[in-house]
Structure 1
Amino acid sequence: MPENRDTAALPLLVVDGANVVGSVPDGWWRDRRGAAERLRDRLVAYAESGLPGRSGPMDVVLVVEGAARGVEPVPGVRVESAPGSGDDRVVELVEGAGDRPVLVVTADRELRRRVTERGAEVTGPRALRA
């Protein structure tokens, strides 16, 4: 994604990193930070092209917590290291999105409830594997 693009005008895609990484039993627990970095790198494509059924470009934010804190952003993907609960940080991002459309990627039922109450749409982790 071009660095000079105004991402504040784009639809916001917020990814619950711990939930998405944890949805695939591929040994992620041995290297949580590495798993979050691999997810971040896969998200770059969605910044420009969007998700199936949702055209791009999108402002993509990966929320990480715990051992994955400190993962660096890359062009096209911002990374938010939650100081506490990753779910709480996802909710804060939704609340701060203003009037633009927000899509949250998570399978966490409680987080889904919290963000939809605030006007976000939700999809599951499989949307990132299509």
Structure 2
Amino acid sequence: MGDSRRLIVVDAANVVGSRPDGWWKDRAGAARRLLVEIAGLAARLPAADTVVVVLEGAAKGAVDGAEPSAPRMRVVTAERSGDDKIVEVVAAATGYDRITVVTSDRELRARVEADHAETVGPSWLWNQLP
């Protein structure tokens, strides 16, 4: 039997916004710092796991072709609503045994749970990071 495959989808705006560290002064910089940390996490995860980080608004400035990367980590930008993009990523996901969405947004949680994803809050992700 093969490894269980898990997709972790990160609501970057929600995770960054969960810590009052001045992120609002430089949204792209805060998103870039989060990407660096998630790249480190992605490299340590089991080989069957994939992480998708969704960026929206000013945070999309973190993606300039030189953003941090890691095996099994993808960065997706939302043209409009980050929540809608997350729902789209979850709905399009195939071949995964588990889908975990990292967010504390109640409405988004309900939307992705309706599509059989589980949800965890930002503290879960922060606890996984060094």
Q: What TM-score comes out, normalization by structure 1 length? A: 0.83
Does the 8 Å CA contact 2:16/2:34 hold for their aligned counterparts? yes
Matching residue of 1:62: 53
Question: How many residues get paired?
Answer: 117
Alignment of 1:14-53 (within 5 A): 14-50=9-45
Q: Does 1:71 align with 2:62?
A: yes
The 3-state SS of whatever aligns with 2:36 is helix
The 3-state SS of whatever aligns with 1:129 is helix
RMSD, matched Cα: 1.6
Matching residue of 2:85: 89
Matching residue of 1:127: 124
5+ unaligned residues in a row in structure 2: which ranges?
none
Q: Does 1:106 align with 2:95?
A: no
> 1:70 Cα shift?
4.2
> 1:99 Cα shift?
4.2
**CA–CA separation in structure 2 for the residues paired with 1:49 and 1:11:** 14
Deviations 1:37-69 (A, max 9, x none): 11111112332333xxxxx23211110100011
The 3-state SS of whatever aligns with 2:58 is helix
Provide the identity percentage: 49
Does the 8 Å CA contact 1:71/1:79 hold for their aligned counterparts? no
Q: What TM-score comes out, normalization by structure 2 length? A: 0.83
The 3-state SS of whatever aligns with 1:104 is strand
5+ unaligned residues in a row in structure 1: which ranges?
1-8, 51-55
**CA–CA separation in structure 2 for the residues paired with 1:121 and 1:25:** 26
**CA–CA separation in structure 1 for the residues paired with 2:92 and 2:61:** 22
